[in-house]
Structure 1
Amino acid sequence: MYSEPEDLGLQSLLAYGVTFRDSCFADLLPVAEGIKRRAYELLAPLSRGVVVLSTCNRFEVYLDSPAPGRSEEVIRSLLKAPWLLEGEEAARHLLRVAAGLESQIVGEDEVLGQVRDAWLEARRAGLTSELLDAVFHSAISAGARARRETRISKGVLGYPQAAVELGARALGDLDGRRVLVVGAGMAARAMLRHLCAKWRPASVIVADRNPARASEAANECPGAKAISLIDVNAIDSVDLALVAIKGGPRPELTNLRSRCKVLADISTPPASTLPDYTAREVEVFVEESARARLEEVPKVEALLEEELDRLKAFLKRKSVDRYLSQIMKVIGLIVEEEARVTAKRIAGGEDPHEAVLTALNSTVKRAFFPLLSYIREDPDSRGHLARELAKRYESMLSLRGEGYGGVPEDKA
């Protein structure tokens, strides 16, 4: 019985999500990790593949061939008012995300790594599909190309990096300074990486409610010390305090302003009292550095359309390859059957040369019968296939250096 191969096309791709632009996103952030686990548990059995992209600015679910109705019910039970993109639009959106065009800070680099990590996490768990692998690989390549061939990431500053830059501007320099970083999440780690990549502070302390996480974050900065958040008031005064922690105002940070020269708090809402710089001041600073990058957006969009066309062409080739593979499988079965019949004929005394020749003729006729019948059924619209095939077969013979017919004369 004929079993048609699964088609490999973008029409099978769906993307659901909420981002920082959606009013419901703030409510999602504190429970995003749990929702991500549930999404994988519930959606994996309902689709060929699933990848969840969860960051501090977006929660997106990419699905390959989800079960109609049931998958959407699961999504809407997990996310409040998610948007939906289908097919080519879903793929285009992921390419834009990887290139930094959908980021809160246009052109930022961190999202490219987040897209890669989300894909690899799902792939290692065996939850992706051939389609999702192709789409995510294309997005990662497109994001890297956008940064390589345009200035979309030139001088880009995320909120964490911008907070460090504002502190440096206020103090004149951060070399030899004493710095406290409060928090151990992605934003705090980005602060630490930027701080220690650009300056050589005299000391760096990382404080968090979870001392183990503080210790992990401290690894971003060689020589940094980790402490519990409750111990912040026991440390000596510092030159710069950088705060990026969830959960709103923290009693441990009430007196922090009096213990540092400059306080930058990008938490929303601020976790400390009377900071010099909040997310609003940081946003203004970031916008100033973003104007030149915005001029690069049309170039990146054109580049992404090229990459999307390449992806579609690749998927078409892969789909054709699937059908060709099935054809070759059938031909292989024909060859095996003819080989068995030929072996019996030879064992029964038939001349081996004649038996093999008969088998070869039979194999060729059986293998080519569907193709030749298909062309003959509609010569008006399919006749060009016969002409093209004839040219290619003749080309094969000429490459062998034989005359027409391809059979050398017997020189014995």
Structure 2
Amino acid sequence: MYVLLAGLNHRTAPVSIRERFAFCGTSLDHAYAYFKDQAEIEGTVILATCNRTEIYATSRDIESGMKVLRQFMSGYSGMTNQELEQYLYQPNCYQAISHLFRVTAGLDSMILGEAQILGQVKDAYQASVQAHASDGVLNSLFLKAIYIGKKVRTETRIDQRPLSVPFTAVELARQILGDLQGKTVMVIGAGEMSELTTQCLMENGIRTVIVSNRSYDKALAMASAFNGRAVRFDLLASELNEADIVISCTAASHYVVREDNCRPVLQARQGRKIIMIDIAVPRDIDPGLKDIDGVFMYDIDDLQNVVDANHLEKQKSIRQAERIIAAEISGFNQWLDSLYVVPVIKALKARGEDIKQKELRRAFNRLGKISEQEERVISSMANTIINQLLHSPMINLKEMAGSSQGHLYAEVVKNLFGLQIDVEELNKYGTSDIGEQG
């Protein structure tokens, strides 16, 4: 069994590409249904956030499994394989494991050490379990990854003074506007990200909060929490004249701040500065509006510039986290290699026993009546031949189980002897206690 990964993130693809891989509830259900129908795939976990879409899977054949993942991502995004190649990463088995551990530790995030990604990984894993899409290997892998994410944050304090997307959005607004005291913010969307951003803005001097959301009741509730006021979604364009900052983060699949309804209002400001920060994927704000005088527009990728300035302060924590991950990877890989090897050894023994019994029956039938002593001698000889033939392959397999090449040796032996490995047997091994600890 191999761990596969196909994905793209904020480092390999701009937001205009990443938004084509966004998943909502229905599309996620359809994706899991698709993978469950593919004979080449044993289990799947889909991790989809603003900054990444990654599909983790297990397969008994690397090439055919990877092909399924590529075909799905190409079909889902409407991109050709050639177009997809520029943005997609498909690391080998061990690199995929290391990558997931670094993701949950916050080392692969736009905001180094961010806490949100750990919760997002937990949610992604839980969604897979609920969809009955995971398997024993992925269960152990994701439980171990979540454990590592917790351990890194506890031991390195990499998330101290955490830099989140909302915090970075506020820093960007401060760079453009200077002091935020007395400014007015319009927040589009009333979800968790919007609330966190509003809280951060209030802590930095924002005077007035305007909230607009497709559900007016939710907008009222959030506005009340911040002593602000709510605006109906169809009237949000008219409120742009009052705002100094616009933070937009909805789950809409299309632009909600559009040229047709917002350009006249923004032009009427006559160059008065307005910062529009779009932290949604897919994007909420039509990028065509940025050519209007006084409009400063940023999407989630632009936040990276603010983040980079804070990385130097966290280098020590990064080195500590990398050491923790390296130690945990070593243990997990040893377990995974034994997972490849143990079922092959069992199947090899079973094949030898099957051949021995079959040939003994044939020999005894041909010999006719023989004495018990003769039968014992013949049986002992057959047993010795089989044991001697299989001794070296099994010893070498056991020795290689703890190395990074264990799975390759197991695959070679499996193919040389034409062994059939029971998937249920593999899954049984995959549910060991290698997962979450402590």
- The TM-score normalised by the length of structure 2 is 0.59
Tell me the SS of whatever aligns to 2:162: coil
Structure 2 gap ranges (5+)? 78-83, 348-382, 396-438
Residue of structure 2 equivalent to 1:71: 68
Residue of structure 2 equivalent to 1:356: none
Distance 1:313 1:216 in 2: 54
Give 1:206 deviation, angstroms.
2.0
Give 1:136 deviation, angstroms.
0.9
Residue of structure 2 equivalent to 1:297: 318
Residue of structure 2 equivalent to 1:124: 130
CA contact (8 A) 2:2 2:93 kept: yes
Residue of structure 2 equivalent to 1:288: 309
Q: Could you give the per-residue CA deviations for residues 249-277 of structure 1, whole angstroms, max 9, x where no partner exists?
A: 54444435949997432226376753457
Give 1:308 deviation, angstroms.
1.4
Tell me the SS of whatever aligns to 2:91: strand
Give, as a single letter, the amino acid of the residue that structure 1 aligns with 2:276: D
How big is the alpha-carbon RMSD for the aligned residues of Structure 1 and Structure 2? Answer: 4.6
Residue of structure 2 equivalent to 1:104: 110
Residue of structure 1 equivalent to 2:236: 232
Residue of structure 2 equivalent to 1:45: 37
CA contact (8 A) 1:263 1:275 kept: yes
Give 1:78 deviation, angstroms.
3.1
Give 1:137 deviation, angstroms.
1.1
Residue of structure 1 equivalent to 2:419: none
Correspondences of 1:323-362 after superposition (within 5 Å): none
CA contact (8 A) 1:240 1:260 kept: no
Distance 1:319 1:220 in 2: 57
Please point out which of 198, 203, 209 is paired with 1:204: 209
Distance 1:66 1:219 in 2: 53
Distance 1:295 1:59 in 2: 28
- Closer, same or farther: CA 28–202 of 1 in aligned 2, 3 Å: closer
Give 1:293 deviation, angstroms.
1.8
CA contact (8 A) 2:274 2:295 kept: yes
Give 1:165 deviation, angstroms.
4.1
- Closer, same or farther: CA 240–221 of 1 in aligned 2, 3 Å: farther
Give, as a single letter, the amino acid of the residue that structure 1 aligns with 2:311: A
Please point out which of 174, 178, 187 is paired with 1:181: 187
Give 1:22 deviation, angstroms.
2.9
Quote the sequence identity (%).
22
Q: Identify the range of structure 1 (303-312 vs 266-275) with the bigger mean alpha-carbon deviation.
A: 266-275
Please point out which of 93, 114, 120 is paired with 1:114: 120
Give, as a single letter, the amino acid of the residue that structure 2 aligns with 1:21: R
Residue of structure 2 equivalent to 1:392: none
Distance 1:295 1:305 in 2: 16
Q: Could you give the per-residue CA deviations for residues 58-79 of structure 1, whole angstroms, max 9, x where no partner exists?
A: 1111111266266244344335
Bigger Cα Rg: 1
Distance 1:191 1:211 in 2: 19
Give 1:120 deviation, angstroms.
0.8
Correspondences of 1:235-314 after superposition (within 5 Å): 240-245=244-249, 247=255, 249-254=258-263, 255=265, 258=269, 263-267=274-278, 269=287, 273=292, 274-275=294-295, 278-279=298-299, 282-314=303-335
Please point out which of 17, 25, 30 is paired with 2:7: 17
Give 1:87 deviation, angstroms.
1.6
- Closer, same or farther: CA 159–17 of 1 in aligned 2, 3 Å: same
- Closer, same or farther: CA 190–29 of 1 in aligned 2, 3 Å: farther
Distance 1:260 1:49 in 2: 54
Structure 1 gap ranges (5+)? 1-10, 327-369, 383-412
- Closer, same or farther: CA 38–155 of 1 in aligned 2, 3 Å: same
Tell me the SS of whatever aligns to 2:23: helix
Give, as a single letter, the amino acid of the residue that structure 2 aligns with 1:206: V
Distance 1:157 1:260 in 2: 31
Give 1:161 deviation, angstroms.
1.8
Give 1:16 deviation, angstroms.
0.7
Distance 1:213 1:271 in 2: 29
